[in-house]
Amino acid sequence: MIPSQLLVSATFLVFCFLKVSSSATFTAAVYEHAVILPNVTLTPVSSEEALALMNRNLDLLEAAIISAAKQGAQIIVTPEDGIYGMIFTRTSIYSYLEDIPDPQVNWIPCDNPNRFGLAPVQRRLSCLAKGNAIYVVANIGDKKPCNTSDPQCPPDGRYQYNTNVVFDSQGKLVARYHKRHLFMNEDQFDTPKEAEVVTFDTAFGKFGIFTCFDVLFHDPAVMLVKDSHVDTVLFPTAWMNVLPHLSAVEFHSAWAMGMGVNFLASNLHNPLLRMTGSGIYAPDSPRKFHYDMETQEGKLLVSQLDSHPYRPEVNWTSYASSIEAFSVRNQEFKGTVFYDEYIFVELKGITGNYTVCQKDLCCHLSYQMSEKRSDEVYALGAFDGLHTAEGQYYLQVCTLLKCKTTNVQSCGDSVDTAATRFEMFSLSGTFGTQYVFPEVLLSEVQLAPREFQVMSDGRLQSLQPTSRPLLTVTLFGRFYDRDGLRDASIDLGAHALRGLVMVLMPILYALCW
């Protein structure tokens, strides 16, 4: 972590020069990396074998970094688990780990590689950053010895952390972030005692960083935006897509828009594990995104962004709580979305107005379809409750979605193609939270840049007919205050599931490594 006082003390003058030359825009790159997985992950390998595998991945990252720099990128983000893969035990990951010091030590590994013990991976990343004069963001593993003077020290005498590192364009380590919200089967790593709020300043804005599953929680993700006022979030991830609401490009672009920040999301590429979906997202619109379930190839995205994006104020409940419910003459029914029980109504006509409520949340929709097909059913749903599968988090969600089949029992099931375009939609809800992420997803998991907007009164509205058939229009609200304390019985359930996840990983609804 770089505390701000560091920047205003010793480096005050340098910082002033940076400020003077600070730029209005910058060029960012994210790399969706088809990680080479080790053949053996559950039994330990030697440090030499571990390093050989990591170097094979670094060779691919190197090519992406060089290409990004040639295209003028000032920063590149690479994915979580992009250097050694995933699904390890505490013991088997150990040979992949390096001691990663606090960035305050002021270290350029490329110039002084052995200052903190063997660190070949940090050295190589630092040299790639320095040699190409580009900020490099990567995800590696940190090890920190501990002993009985610390009652929380694990029995094997060390902490192991899922860690993001950032090297600046001189190769200096400027940020280290230990993932706070480990996903359910990340047994190889420890959770840091507190959420780390890690930021650093550049001539092109203030940056914050977190990892994968962290994006669903308040600390540190929301703190970075609300308290530290970062402009751009760096987001290495290993994200398994879950439709209808948590496909990578869909949710990450919505987070950028809902929070009013740039968001650089770099995912692993592994279609078998449903891992694809990276992007460069600005608050007003996605700039570049990539979703590819067909090829096995990695993909580099490069785009320009505003250094200090405009952050509009939205009152997410203002419109919805100011209008009468549209008359509900309609048959309501229950449907399940990613283990949550929603209340739905079917959209019967080519055009219409509907309201559906659950607990405190009422969702209003006005819409017009291009045609009312007999082979497709759309529904409006509301959910106000605690999600408990693969993590515990309170949601308030208003969603217009395509049902998988014409049987309304299928509403909420994953479906990735559709045939119905919408001429117009306007969705709003009586949210009790100010954290709402607006999602619009089109057929074949495509985003809809500049086809919709969020009004300051909280309406999510189309600006034009959809350019493709529609999968979903959703206001995905997170009610952090209601997450409550973790329930021991849920922890136990998650533990029992872990073994299963390892075996059945590709077919389970897992989210995030």
Ligand X SMILES: *[C@@H]1O[C@H](CO)[C@@H](O)[C@H](O)[C@H]1NC(C)=O
Contacts with ligand X, residue ranges (CB under 6 A)? 36, 38-39, 53, 146-147, 149, 315, 317-318, 321-322, 351-353, 366
Q: Which is nearer to ligand X, 191 or 353 (CB)?
A: 353
Q: Report how far residue 151's alpha carbon sits from residue 60's, in angstroms, rounded to the nearest whole number.
A: 41
Q: How far is the CB of 326 from ligand X (least distance, A)?
A: 7
Q: List Cα–Cα distances, 138 to 13, 55, 165, 209, 480, in angstroms.
A: 29, 13, 5, 11, 28
Active-site residue, selected from the candidate residues 110, 172, 196, 212? 212
Q: How far is the CB of 198 from ligand X (least distance, A)?
A: 22
Q: Which residues are CB-contacts of 70 (< 8 A; sequence separation ≥ 6)?
A: none
Q: How far is the CB of 13 from ligand X (least distance, A)?
A: 36
Pseudo-torsion of CA 177, 183, 186, 189, nearest 10°? 30
Q: Which is nearer to ligand X, 169 or 462 (CB)?
A: 462
Mapped onto helix, strand or coil, the DSSP state of residue 375 is coil
Q: List Cα–Cα distances, 154 to 45, 90, 158, 159, 228, in angstroms.
A: 21, 10, 6, 7, 32
Q: How far is the CB of 267 from ligand X (least distance, A)?
A: 20
Q: How far is the CB of 434 from ligand X (least distance, A)?
A: 6
Q: Which is nearer to ligand X, 15 or 116 (CB)?
A: 116
413: left (phi over 0), alpha (psi -120 to 50) or beta: beta
Q: For the chain, what is the largest distance between any 2 Cα atoms, rounded to a whole number of angstroms?
A: 72
- The candidate with the shortest Cα–Cα distance to 168, out of 133, 124, 205, 204, is 133
- The candidate with the shortest Cα–Cα distance to 323, out of 457, 183, 169, 494, is 457
403 given a catalytic annotation: no
Q: List Cα–Cα distances, 312 to 64, 233, 284, in angstroms.
A: 34, 17, 9
Active-site residue, selected from the candidate residues 80, 250, 376, 390? 80
398 given a catalytic annotation: no
Q: How far is the CB of 182 from ligand X (least distance, A)?
A: 23
Specify whether the CB–CB gap between 364 and 429 falls below 8 A: yes
179 given a catalytic annotation: yes
Q: Which is nearer to ligand X, 39 or 489 (CB)?
A: 39
Active-site residue, selected from the candidate residues 130, 172, 179, 206? 179
Q: Which is nearer to ligand X, 432 or 449 (CB)?
A: 432
Q: Which is nearer to ligand X, 147 or 152 (CB)?
A: 147
Q: Which is nearer to ligand X, 190 or 231 (CB)?
A: 190
Beta strands 340-346 and 286-290, pairing class: unpaired
Q: How far is the CB of 283 from ligand X (least distance, A)?
A: 19
- Whats the size of the chain, residue-wise? 513
How many helices (DSSP H) and strands (DSSP E) are in the chain? Answer: 9, 23
Instruction: Indicate which residues carry an active-site annotation.
Output: 80, 179, 212
